[in-house]
Amino acid sequence: MSKIQSTFQRLQATGRRALIPFITAGDPAPELTVPLMNALVEGGADIIELGVPFSDPMADGPTIQRASERALANGMTLRRVLDTVREFRTGNAETPVVLMGYANPVEAMGVERFVSAAREAQVDGVLIVDYPPEECESFAQAAKDAGLDPIFLLAPTSTEQRFRDVARVGSGYIYYVSLKGVTGAATLDFDEVAARIPQIRAQVGMPVGVGFGIRDAESARRIGEVADAVVIGSRIIEEIERSPRDRLAANVTAFLREVRAALDQVEGAVR
């Protein structure tokens, strides 16, 4: 059982939801990424999604696009992201880390080299936004063979065939994109999410995390009533953008604690 899978098993045994925050590696500065990861853990993160900056992040809205631009301007690369995870692991061996990014940096490094380097850095999962499940079975199998969970996206427009493809090649959890749009969108249709999640869970047999459009403790709580996990990214990046350097970690921790407290108000298992 992977570290991600055991995390969900532990949380589900107590009726709790996973909190999965996202930050971009190298934003606002490379030397601040590990302190921010530690701040996320202090705020209640169960799993961390660490963004690999890319010049054309097609699934991301303006907020995360800006974070990628800042990180790239700071010289952040995929290799440096892996070095960052290694540094994080010197103080935290338990919290699962998922690398979230796009295919180009992985292809440039080479899939085999990337998978090997990710395993050596103690990465736990990979979510490559533009690797569709039906076209990357060899990548998914290589990741699994290395002890990494290949995580895939599903959306409101996903077909039954896509459900089956994800169930076949994915592991760890499903990232359900809660709306038709990019990260950071402001409007969530809670009724649509509530109707969709049980269908996904029944067909893929994995925990379902919901992201895109979750902005605050209340929206996280409402999603937590039906989902196994809440993924929140753009709102954290905004907190990073507006915080002075000496308050950066503390402000991120404080915001995430509010979300964690709201999630912990949700009672009982979602199944």
Respond yes or no: is residue 60 known to be catalytic. Answer: yes
List 49, 124, 149, 228, catalytic entry: 49
**Distance of alpha carbon 26 from alpha carbon 135, whole angstroms:** 30
Query: Could you tell me if 18 and 209 are in contact, meaning their C-beta atoms sit under 8 angstroms apart?
Result: yes
Query: Could you tell me if 35 and 54 are in contact, meaning their C-beta atoms sit under 8 angstroms apart?
Result: no
Query: Could you tell me if 144 and 4 are in contact, meaning their C-beta atoms sit under 8 angstroms apart?
Result: no
**Distance of alpha carbon 152 from alpha carbon 211, whole angstroms:** 12
The DSSP symbol for 98 reads E
| Residue recorded with tokens 């290799």 | 79
**Distance of alpha carbon 210 from alpha carbon 214, whole angstroms:** 8
Respond yes or no: is residue 134 known to be catalytic. Answer: no
Which residues on adjacent β-strands are paired with residue 19? 230
List 42, 46, 56, 60, catalytic entry: 60
Longest dimension (CA), the chain: 49
For residue 221, report the phi and psi dihedrals to the nearest 5 degrees: -65, -45
Q: What is the dihedral of CA 19, 23, 29, 33, to 10 degrees?
A: 40
**Distance of alpha carbon 260 from alpha carbon 217, whole angstroms:** 8
Instruction: Count the neighbouring beta carbons within 10 Å of the beta carbon of residue 141.
Output: 12
DSSP 129-141: TT--GGG-HHHHH
Residues acting as catalytic residues: 49, 60
